[in-house]
Amino acid sequence: MLPPSVGDVLGPGHLCFFVRRMVAKLNLSAFRDEYGSEGGPAYAPEMMVSVWLYAYALGVTSSRRLEQRIREDLAFRYLGGGAAPDHWTLNGFRRRHAKGLNDLFTRVVELARASGLGRLGHVAIDSTRIAANASRNRLDTEQGLREKRARIRRDIRRWQKQCDAEDPTKARARRWAAKPWSGWSVKGKRFLRGWNGCENRD
């Protein structure tokens, strides 16, 4: 259970409250549309985006670690609304919505910069101000904004690749490729070898 007032415990300026406010401003229709009309989502997109955004801000890349943090860390529990998705669900959501999450996280970092934040958790924000409304500087301004956005996107993609490296499904595939017999009983190994032998004789 969450305490009566999370703000009293964490303080009103805690990053998790900023994340909650930012996610409330985002258009998540693309995330909702994937569920179709046959049934509602197991977990609300707002919650899944919130916990992954907060994970990005803190540099959390493991879905297993994120699952644990949602169960044990008050800020993650607040953003999760008391829900407890497992790491397979968390990782599946991140993989399905890689581009959408990149777009949303880029937008949140830009909003954080506009709010005057120098950091978003562990994420440093380039708060250099670019001249605006001056016609002679307009091209420089637009180019500067494009470059800033490109840097943000690269940073988010780098984090996503780190998440991919710790993807439990890929880790299992790597273990299978390295040791295809691991997990088989002795009887099962003998059966499969015999089956392969029969096929080769054909």
pLDDT tens, residue by residue, 22-61:
999 999 988 888 765 444 457 899 999 999 999 998 889 9
| Rg of the chain on CA atoms, in Å | 22
Closest alpha carbon to 128 in 107, 162, 151, 159: 151
Could you count the other beta carbons within 10 Å of the beta carbon of residue 1? 5
In this predicted model, which residue has the larger pLDDT, 103 or 133?
Answer: 103
With the CA atoms of 161, 42, 123 and 127 taken in that order, what torsion angle do they form, in degrees rounded to the nearest 10? 120
Query: What per-residue confidence (pLDDT) applies to 2?
Result: 59
Is residue 180 over pLDDT 70?
A: no
Closest alpha carbon to 116 in 18, 27, 25, 16: 18
